[in-house]
Amino acid sequence: MAEQLRERVDTALREFLTPALSPLRDIGEELSTVADALAQFVLSGGKRLRPAFCYWAARAAGHEDSDALVRAAASLELLQGSALVHDDVIDHSDTRRGRPAVHRRFADLHRAAGWSGEAEDFGTAAAILIGDLLLSWSDAMLASSGIDDAALGRSRPISDLMRLELMAGQYLDIVEQASNGDTVDGALRVARFKAAKYTIERPMHLGAALSGSSPDVFTAFTGFGLPVGEAFQLRDDLLGVFGDPAVTGKPAGDDLRHGKRTVLVALALERADAADQQTLRRLVGRPDLSDDDVGRLRHIVVHSGVAAIVETMISDRVQAALSALEAVALDQAGRDALVELATAATQRSD
């Protein structure tokens, strides 16, 4: 079921992008390079989590299956593409989905062409522009999805709020990072905006808006979406430290090298003994961490009991989410799919 929706989302994205990219290709050869990079980036994977939560929330709220609904849900993937391309610039990330990040790809193009100026600056500029185009297209794809004007009108305020919360979450993230924020509360606040609201709650609200749902459905989706989103982010924190590079597509211990201010690290700083705290402060955020260093940090996270605590936080949240969903009458197939998605999102290994 999940696999089938995923294919429909991919098809919708391909069918939107092909004509959308064509005027870009017409402008000139240089822009064909941009079009290729953009299409490859959007079409080469990703979990398609946001479209799935949006689609199944709509179905659970009584919306019938339609290609228009799939297209409306798939438009979230363009917003997410924009966020990832810009985020990779902001975080100086080299890779995304196991390939060079977009800004790296264009920096490489600059180098290969032997152009003048800084290759990195060129890469950053190209990635900013590509992210902008994806952001515009997420709106365009929703508007042209084939959902009716009334549904489009209802979806607007949710869609706007989602963009605002995404941007706010990213800003809070860079402030936490810059100010060396190391509290659990600070990290949870970032997780709430970047993951819980943007990844789960708002996509579900979009689905509810498309279905013309009553307020109690929105409330139930909040009660389900926020804890699932936090659990999703907590799983991400664990994978950022313990994940298998072959599965995640990111180097081992990537979050530790980038000094990402996660709930996991904040908890470790809170609970580790004095010597381990010192090690954490010394090593987290060093780009040149050796595999041994990563191993040492992993040991601290396990030894302090924090890995187990985070696992408990995840399962508590999933439990709370499932209860919240019981509070409202929903279509059974839709409800089952949402439960399945919540499990997959919080128990994944990639």
Provide the binding-site residues for a copy of itself, judged by CB under 8 A: 20, 23-24, 27-28, 30-31, 34, 82, 86, 89-90, 92, 110, 113, 115-117, 121-122, 124-126, 128-133, 135-137, 139-140, 143-144, 149, 156, 160-161, 163-165, 167-168, 170-172, 174-175, 177-180, 189, 193
Shortest distance, position 231 Cβ to a copy of itself, whole Å: 22
Burial of 41 (0-12, 13-18, 19+ CB in 10 A): buried
Closer of 44 and 179 to a copy of itself (Cβ): 179
CB 193 within 8 A of CB 155: no
The phi and psi torsions of 100 (rounded to 5 degrees) equal -60, 140
Q: Which residues pair with 96 in a beta bridge?
A: 99
Distance CA 340, CA 124 (A): 38
Distance CA 251, CA 36 (A): 26
Shortest distance, position 337 Cβ to a copy of itself, whole Å: 29
Task: Tell me which residue of 201, 254, 210 sits closest to 229, measured CA to CA.
Answer: 201
Structural element, H or E, at residue 162 = helix 149-178
Closer of 51 and 169 to a copy of itself (Cβ): 169
Shortest distance, position 341 Cβ to a copy of itself, whole Å: 26
Closer of 165 and 293 to a copy of itself (Cβ): 165
Closer of 170 and 304 to a copy of itself (Cβ): 170
Structure tokens of 269? 């700083």
Shortest distance, position 269 Cβ to a copy of itself, whole Å: 15
Shortest distance, position 67 Cβ to a copy of itself, whole Å: 19
Closer of 31 and 320 to a copy of itself (Cβ): 31
| Contact partners, residue 135, CB within 8 Å, separation at least 6 | 78, 79, 82, 163
Shortest distance, position 333 Cβ to a copy of itself, whole Å: 33
Closer of 28 and 295 to a copy of itself (Cβ): 28
Letter string b/e over residues 98-125, b meaning 16 or more CB atoms within 10 A of that residue's CB: eebbbbbbbbebbeeeeeeeebbebbbb
